[in-house]
Amino acid sequence: MQFPKQFEHDHPPIQNVNRVFEDKRSMGDRIADRFAATMGSWTFIITQSVLLVAWVTLNVAAWIMHWDPYPFILLNLALSFQAAYAAPIIMMSQNRQAEKDRIEAHLDYEVNQKAEEEARVILQHLEAQNDAILEILRRLERLEAGAATAP
């Protein structure tokens, strides 16, 4: 009877994706992520909606001084500037999130490989134990048969 050699864990430890990714982020990356999180919130949408309604209302209802009369060209310019800067910053944040997803998928793949290797080793060990038990049973049966035929 021969058992397989003892399994040795010779793989590097699993890494925390969030920690790995956080260590790689620069100050600009952090600002872009914060900016994207802010612009993608209900607080931002509600605040911007209130400001737009107030802007339009004040310029429509103003009897004396219209700083931005209809068709609200100054408001349109401000919103265009906001969109021109917001879109690339949000895209930078999304690209970083996609990179984080790729890193996480790769680490998941490594974990799956390690788990598969360990499951294979466990199955080999169980098979060796099964073979050993069958051999022990055969020897016991031979001993019993020999003891039954002896006077």
What is the domain partition of the chain in residue ranges? 17-149
CA atoms within 13 A on the CB side of 147: 6
Counting residues of the chain whose pLDDT is more than 90, the rounded percentage is 46
Q: How confident is the model at residue 4, as a pLDDT?
A: 66
Q: How confident is the model at residue 89, as a pLDDT?
A: 93
* pTM of the entire predicted model: 0.64
Tens digits of residue pLDDT in 34-63: 999 999 899 999 999 999 999 999 998 887
Q: How confident is the model at residue 3, as a pLDDT?
A: 64
List, in order, residues 6 or more apart from 2 with CB less than 8 Å away: 128
Q: How confident is the model at residue 146, as a pLDDT?
A: 82
Closest CA to 15 of 97, 103, 77: 103
What's the rounded Cα separation, in Å, for the pair 42 and 45? 5
The tokens for 57 are 């209302």
Q: Is the dihedral of CA 15, 18, 19, 24 positive or negative?
A: positive
Please identify which residue in the block is written with the tokens 């931002």. 44
What's the rounded Cα separation, in Å, for the pair 98 and 92? 10
